[in-house]
Amino acid sequence: MSKYECNHHMTGFLKELPKCEHHVHLEGTLGPDLLFPLAARNNVQLPSHFPKDVESLNKRYSEFTDLQDFLNFYYIGMSVLIQEQDFFDLAWAYFTKAHADGLHHAETFFDPQGHVERGVSIDVVVRGFERAAQQAEKELGISTRLIMCLLRHLPPKDGLATIESARPYYKAGTIHGLGLDSAEKPFPPHLFEECYKAVRDSFPEVGLTAHAGEEGGPEFITNSLDLLNVTRIDHGVNSFQDEDLLKRLAKNQTLLSLCPLSNVKLQVVKDVSELPIQKWLDFGVPFSINSDDPAYFGGYILDNYIMVHTRFGFDLKTWCKIAANGVNGSWISDARKKELLEKIDQVYTKYQPLIEA
């Protein structure tokens, strides 16, 4: 299926290209190599049907049939996270790995309800993640944003209670966004109107996004825009089925956070070449390229960029446009945007003679 080569210089270019990640679940960076030691350290009993070692767990991860099949493992996986240090270690490992991939800005999701329902307080979760984010800013130069997601398979009133408990963190600017994840099709966006309104009314500066159009149709995207007032869509793959929607996304420059390897692993598409990337470029719909749950789907951000290159073979100008769209769609200051856009130009100037001369 690989139509285009990603040679040494092209890989160097994609690595150095300043990348922004907008769709990574911190709990989805928990790989089998950390899962078993943490289960032992915290005395967590894994279910009897759960694979017993790293190799068999990795094998099972290569066989996901759909989103729900993955989510069943994702929620068991996160059950080994108990102490503030666990959350710190997890996020710090992600930041260092992504930094080595050329990541400059990270907007990371987390799922407090997946922890609170096990008796781990939101304070423990947020403190661990916040400390890792601060260290990433200081030691790695990565700018960061923390986006709290609501689990759509839980009742919206549980979502409202979660928002209440997060109020101090929204107020302090520790949490910067609201998202919506978990099983999509049985739990459409309209269920969460009140939750989004609660955050919008109290914290108008907070960024709003929602998973939509991963397994759900384009109406999940339209309804997220109309009813939840989101300014970003996570996944958004099925937008390709509705040209009016594509025009709307382009007109408002609404960013889609695409996750190519995830879409293949969860059988949204058979191959990355089937993703509507060229259509989005033709319509002027901005998108970024992301890892979603890298420990489960076999690749971090650079692996996703490289996979897209092997299927679409974009020239450097197109890659710079994709990276710039990621910068412009980020929830960061204009000064930070300018800094990252200038870096993109520098990387282009360095690699253009090596690759396209």
Which residue's C-beta sits nearest to ligand HPA?
A: 181
Q: Rounded CA gap, 184 and 151, in Å?
A: 10
Catalytic residue among 27, 107, 184, 214: 214
Q: Rounded CA gap, 125 and 127, in Å?
A: 6
Nearest distance from residue 357's CB to ligand HPA, in Å?
Answer: 40
> By C-beta, is 224 or 324 nearer to ligand HPA?
224
> By C-beta, is 101 or 292 nearer to Zn ion?
292
Q: Rounded CA gap, 341 and 327, in Å?
A: 7
Please state the φ and ψ torsions of residue 50, each to the nearest 5 degrees.
-75, 135
Nearest distance from residue 210's CB to ligand HPA, in Å?
Answer: 10
Q: Does 184 bind Zn ion (CB under 5 A)?
A: no
Q: 224-236: buried (b, 16+ CB within 10 Å) or exposed (e) per residue? A: bbebbebbbbbbb
> By C-beta, is 39 or 259 nearer to Zn ion?
259
User: Are the CB atoms for 91 and 106 separated by under 8 Å?
Assistant: no
User: Are the CB atoms for 98 and 12 separated by under 8 Å?
Assistant: no
Does residue 214 carry a catalytic annotation? yes
Collapsing DSSP to helix, strand or coil, 308 comes out as helix
Annotated binding site for Zn(2+): 23, 25, 211, 292
> By C-beta, is 214 or 347 nearer to ligand HPA?
214
Residue type, 354: L
Annotated binding site for substrate: 293
Nearest distance from residue 3's CB to ligand HPA, in Å?
Answer: 26
| Residue 165 host element (H or E) | helix 156-172
Show the tokens assigned to 37.
């030691």
- Which of Zn ion, ligand HPA, none does residue 299 bind to, with CB < 5 to 8 Å depending on kind? none
Q: What does the per-residue mask of binding to Zn ion show for 252-291, with x meaning CB under 5 A? A: ----------------------------------------
List residues binding ligand HPA (CB under 6 A).
25, 28, 67, 74, 181-182, 211, 214, 262, 292-293
- Which of ligand HPA, Zn ion, none does residue 84 bind to, with CB < 5 to 8 Å depending on kind? none
| Residue 296 host element (H or E) | helix 294-297
Specify the DSSP class assigned to residue 189: G
| Residue 147 host element (H or E) | strand 143-151
Query: Which listed residue (74, 192, 292, 327) binds Zn ion by CB under 5 A?
Result: 292
Which residues contact Zn ion (rule: CB under 5 A)? 292
List active site positions: 214
